[in-house]
A and B are shown apart, each in its own frame.
Chain A
Amino acid sequence: MDAILFLTFAAIAVACAINLVLQTHPISSALSLVGVMTSLAVLYLLLGGSFIAAVQVIVYAGAIMVLFIFVIMLLNTQGERTQPKKNVLPIAIALPLLFSLIGVLAAIVATQVPAGEIVKFGTFSGGDPLTFGRAMFTRYLLPFEVTSVLILIAIVGAVVLAKKEI
């Protein structure tokens, strides 16, 4: 059952990610990204992170993607112009490098992770809101307070950038 759920949602995530890269219109890409984030939330649930799965759906798929779609609709641009590619050299270099990147990552995973490590649903329940909140407000209290300053700076920066004539 674990494997079936994992394979289903991993396939959805990869398919949506490929669609994100290939679509020409930003709205299609944004909706694909929502699909990736939602299927990742299901994988977080399988890994025992109930709180982080909820936050993934609410903050990422909810708030951040709404912001993206709002800006895309506000600017109302057409899809990318399909101008004839002036030079194929960057793509010819980039694609083999990307394939070698994924090959290196897979090799590291294959050699470093012990083969006996398995993920079984229900063996770890430390991601519930109680444990999460206790760790967040004791051991990680200072980083938590620092993020509030970061958010404040981001709010001020966004207002200044979007309002003033630069």
Chain B
Amino acid sequence: MPPIPTVVPMSWYLILSAILFTLGAAGFLLRRNIITVFMCIELMLNAVNLTFVAFSHQLKQVDGHIFTFFVMVVAAAEAAVGLAIILTVFKNRQTLEIDEVSSMKL
């Protein structure tokens, strides 16, 4: 077994971010519950945030942190509106299965 390096290469953070993003995309494509799909979107946003912060460390600038902050603000607004939409859908249709909410399908 190779010895564990004492410092972390930059690429490890980016690979971790790629893994988290892929898991979020997988959940987004494969799950059938609206709320779980919504949480997978949040997971993808978090993976992108990790990339921002990692590059901010590499460039020794604070700009990446500010972008992360704005992503969080947009995620909060999205969660508020999205969950209100989910409440309305459930009130009208008594279901959370995305296959049964398909009136916009061609």
Contacts and interface: CB of A to CB of B under 8 A. Distances in A.
A115 interface: yes
Interface SS of chain B: helix, strand, loop or mixed?
A: helix
Given A2-B6, A26-B33, A43-B50, A48 B57 contact: yes
Interface in A62-95: 63-64, 67-68, 71-72, 74-75, 77, 80-81, 90-91, 94-95
A146 to B, nearest CB: 9
B65 A49 contact: yes
Nearest to B87: A162
A118 B13 contact: no
Specify the main secondary structure of chain A where it touches its partner. helix
Tier of interface size on chain B = 35 or more
Contact of B7 (A44, A95, A98, A118): A118
A68 B83 CA distance: 7
Contacts, number: 231
Of B19, B46, B69, B96, the most chain A CB neighbours within 10 A belong to B69
Given A4-B4, A77-B96, A131 B22 contact: no
Interface string A110-138: 10010101111001101100011001100
A14 B16 contact: yes
A7 B4 contact: yes
Contact of A33 (B11, B42, B86, B92): B42
Contacts of B13: 6, 43, 47, 119
Interface of B: 4-16, 18-27, 29-33, 35-36, 38-40, 42-43, 46, 49-50, 53-54, 56-58, 60-63, 65-66, 68-70, 72-81, 83-88, 90, 92, 96-97
